[in-house]
Structure formats: structure tokens, C-alpha cells
Chains A and B, each alone.
Chain A
């Protein structure tokens, strides 16, 4: 007989799932209208690719070294960031095809190669130049973190991209790649949900997607109004969490420990 564990987590996940489904349905029906605020880092993608077009230099994209399936499938958060990064890569490759700009992707985990290949090929197709694809675009360097970092740094130094995208679950290589990108004069757009790398990315890059801005990137760039409903659902959940935190803090001040009552 099945027994349910992690009831609290299940309740929150179920709430978010229902909120996402309902809000997508309501937006599709026209009952709900959603607007998303401007995200500077995502708006800058067009400018970055335009810069690469004018300078005749390539665009570099990497998601970093985290998230290998080989690491045991356990890096669930890294996997989510890679999926989010693919949303950005899809748009970047579409623009590269539109403006006939060379795209270079360096990857650390070979199992992401089909993901990259497919995303870029479809992006090129959408951009109207499927013939731009060649197997040199996606370069697997090494599954080891700093071997990959050394290779990616060398790639950036040699190819001198005009735009450097460091989007996804980056670890310690974030600052190294960002500095090399700066040294070759690239405009740098980064994004990560890992708080331990955000300070380096914010300091070293021109634009940074912080935390959930990365997860909203795919929806934002697709300009799909229906999917904006899911962003609304996220924000609704956050509002409820804020209300809960505020109420629990007030109750704790009055001597009622809500977390303990809930079994925490």
C-alpha cells in the first residue's frame, strides 16, 4: 500500500502545479491578462548579437560545469537551470541565424550535446538559416571542471567573441570565464540560480539574471502570453509565502511557534 511522505513539500508542489495549470488555462481563455516587467539581461540579448554582427565576431555560450547526469542525476536544481539555459540558447541561436553570426558553444557534459545540438538546429531553422549548422558549433571539452574551464578560456581567448553568454548552473569557473570574456572585450550576459556564484557574475558581467529570472527567461523570450500565466502562478506562490512568513513572525513574537506546531 502506498504511503505518502514529505507531505508539506507535496502540498506546496501541488499548489504550484494547480496554480500553473489554472493560470495558463485562464490566460488562454482571455479571462486573465498578464504582463511581465522588463528584464534588462534578456532585453540586452538583441543588443549583444547586434554588436557581434557589427564587429564580425562570434557569440560564445556555455552553461558551465554543473548538472552532469553522470554525477548521479542528483543535481536536480542544476538540471532545471540547464533546461532554462536552453530557452535562452534557443533565442540566441535564432538571432545568430537571422544576423548570420557564428555561434560557439562549449560544454562540459557530453550528455548535454544532443540537447545543445537540437536546440541550436531548431533555432537556426526558426531564424531562417538551417544551413549555418555545423558540428564544430558545439564543442565538448572535458567532463572535469577545470579541464573544461581551461579549454573554454582558451576558446574565448582565441575566438574573441563579441558576446559571451554564461547562463546556467555555473560553479567556480564563472569568474574565470567572465574575466577572460572581459579581457577580449565581449559584452557578457550571465545568469544563475546558484547564490554562491551570483556575486562574481554580478561583479564581472554586464548583465546578470538572478535566481528565478533565469527560470522565467524561456517564457520571457518566447513572448508567449499563455505561458506568462505560469509566471503569475509563481508570483502568487511567493506572495502566499511572504504572507505566511510575516504572519508566522508576528505570531512568534507573541509566543506562538507556528513552525513547531506544524511539526517543524
Chain B
């Protein structure tokens, strides 16, 4: 499976990018004539893209780089001008030879500037955009005023507070006082759009991001607008019918507090949350996520943008798959089982010393290792080192489900390719499990090391486990295998440690620690390193960075990548 990285033929030099010269707030910049649209297709560069290149902020609500442009919020209106053309279709020049700019004005009121929506207006050569002008500022103020007149202004009880674009832009671009003296429009509150989404219609600014996401990205045309004018209301085609596996993305997309997650609603003020860059473990896609935690409790996962993996999305199942991390029955103690079936809590040092002693006596071929493709690549690498010492059979457990057309992959292990590239598993994962079961039955395998899997579910039943001389198990939650362990080593959820995964497409991605482990639990790589050092008498790097770099040097498919080179978005390795 692992290929030696070959030097690919140098790709043909890309065609030169055609550039246009424009001015943003008086500063001349060069921008590409074409830029990717929401689907990645090259289209004429928009004013908004040009302003972003120029580093000028253009506030917006309905525009989202990954959604079709709607142009309805009008927040990105900017004043602009284009080179004036004479009757001979040649540019008119100022006395100093610079082109004369005709500022865009209302055709019926030439004294009034006319803005264009930056999100949908293509730039043209010589165009001048004024995102910082007084006229632009006035247009923004007016839009914000309109958005707020019927808004309930209930920030103190709104989940979005702290990450609300209405709040942020009101502070930066709005006006402090409202002139509105009429009665506000009242709309439905706490509407069940679907099982995971609750809508507060009064907070909605009708930007239609949720509608466009559901229709154009998730492929589920479940949302729309009912009623008319100021009474417009987002609705599911049938109450509660917004129920695809991507609905929670609309909560992220919602720039205000209208769409809320039933799971997160009223649980935590967002400014208390610590944000940690991580990766979802629910399938081999490896969606990039941000873990929101406070005082060692995880409160939410949110997708993190990565065009090479998940764009800006993640599935609902993966997003909500965090509660097990805080389960009260987590394994918290290092335990040694006695002959009578009772067990004692022992210190890590004792456990490592005794396991080392037992393994040192093991003869070659009498040890087997069942690892998990949910473990980090570094842990798998250490387990392989351990296995190599005894010529042990290794494998891990396949885990499959149904794939979908967007993100969910059929392989539900986050690190199958890590298991393969480290040599723990084979192309067909789990193919050697029967061999291990047979070895135990025949008595040739006397020692079994199991990490993160309940092998009783995979052909190595409790009867077989009872025949072993030594069963070392590390896991997170109790199961029949942990119950049979001679030595039970409590491990960590990915959110409690650092490491890397290699996703189904060969993207090597790292994740960072968000919360502290439970009880005695330690990151597996730490105690595995102690064990490997003791058993093999080889020096193993003491830091995760060093360990990764050592592993990378030993696996040609990694192409020599360093820990520091992985970055927040990962790198591709050869699979």
C-alpha cells in the first residue's frame, strides 16, 4: 500500500494569470481578472474579492464564499467609480494625465452616489472602489438600521451573542440610536425546523444562507420563505421536516441567532469557550473541527474551513459525536487483575515495570497486537515498534457504514491509512484477526496487546481471552475486553491529547489537546513510549514532535514531512 514517493514529472507551468489594475480606497492594486466562485470555477473577480485582496473589509451577511451569491442583504454596498469615457469611447484624462473617474450615481438623481453590491459586481480595468468612503458608510448604516428595526434586540439571552455579525457590524458600522418609533413585527419563536434545529424568526435577517446551503450543498430543498415583505419567515416545507445529516451547518452559517442548535442552545456563552483546532473522528473523511470547551468540558464541535477536506462543513452525526468524551463511566484507573478475579488500582510505574517484565519473557511469535484505526499515527507507530520486537502479528478492526455524496465516508475509522502506513494493518483491514484467534486457541499466542477495540466483537471471544497468559488492554470506555484485561491502561480521547490522523484520501492532519484526561488516564503515546523504551532498550524521542519526525523518517510515503510542516490544514501523503 505504501509507495515510495517518486519525483513526479514537473507539472507544466500554469498559464500566466491575467491581472487587472484597480484602486481600492485610493490604493492601486493588481488583482486576477478571474477568481474561483463558490464552486471553485473561475469567474470574473468581484469587488468583494478585490477588496479582500486589498485588505479592505467589506461587511456582508448573505455572501458566503461557499454558497451561490444571493445579493439580498445589501450590507456590502460600496461606492465606486469607473474611468470616464468620451464620445469617441476613449478614456477622458485629468489635466495631470490620469484617467478621469466617473463615480457611480443614481441615474435620476446625479448628486446621489449609487452603490453596487460588492459580492456580485465584477471589477473592470481602472475601476475605483471606495469601501471606506462616507457614502459607503452611510449605506451600511442604513442597512443596519433596517435590519435592526424589527429585531428583538435580545442579545442578553441570545446564543449568538459574542459571535453575532449583527452585533459586530452594529458596533463597527452602525449608529447608536434608532429613529424607529413604530411597533415591531412579531414573528414565531422557538420553531422546530427539524429535530436538531430551533428557529427564532424574529432574529432572522432573511439572508437565505440556510436555504441556499440546504438546497445547493446538502441537496435537500427543505427550507424556504413564506409570507411576504417584512413578514417574510424562514420555514421548513413541513414543520420539523428539516432533517438531513447536515442541518447543523445552517447554525454556523446563520450570521445571527436565528438558527440555533438544539444541542447547544442556552448551554454556554460562547466567549467562555476555549477553541482548539482538531479533527473529527467519526469517519475517515477527517473533517477539520474546532472544539469549543470550557473547564475541561466539551460543549460543541464546529467545522473548520479546509478546502482539501471538508470545505466549511461537517455532518450532524460527527458534530454531535462528542458526548462520550465526558461519559461518567470513562476508564480512570490503571488496574491489575488478580488470579481470583478481583483487581487492584496500581501506579503507572508498576504497570509499565510488570508489563515489561512479562513481555521480556515472551518468545518470538507468541505475541499479537490488535490496535485501533482510531488511534493516532504516532501511537500506531509505537505499537508497531513493540510488535517488531516479538515478530508479533498485528492488525486492527475495520468499521464501515454507508457513504453519502457530500462528506460521510464508508470507512468509519479516522485513521485507517495511518494503520496501514505504519504497518499495523493491511489493505484489507482485519484480515489477520482470525489468525490471531486461531493462534490463541492453539496456544501459540500467549500474549495479546489490545488498544482501543473490543476484540470480543471481532472473533476473539471472552473464552479465548481467558486462555491468554497476558492480556494488556488500553481503552477509554469499559467493555468485555477491558473486563478481561490483566493490565488495564486508561487512555485518552483525541480531544485530550495531540497526534495525527491520515484520512481516507491520504491527508495527514494533526489535532491539538482541548481538555484534560480523566483520572489516571494519559495519552497513549506517552506510556507506549515508556513501554517501548523499556522493552526494546532503544531510545525513543520524548516529545510528540520528535516522535512524529522519527516516524516520518521511517515511512517514505510521508515524504519527510516534519510536525511543524503539517500546519493547521494538513499535508498529503502517498497512500
Do A and B bind?
no
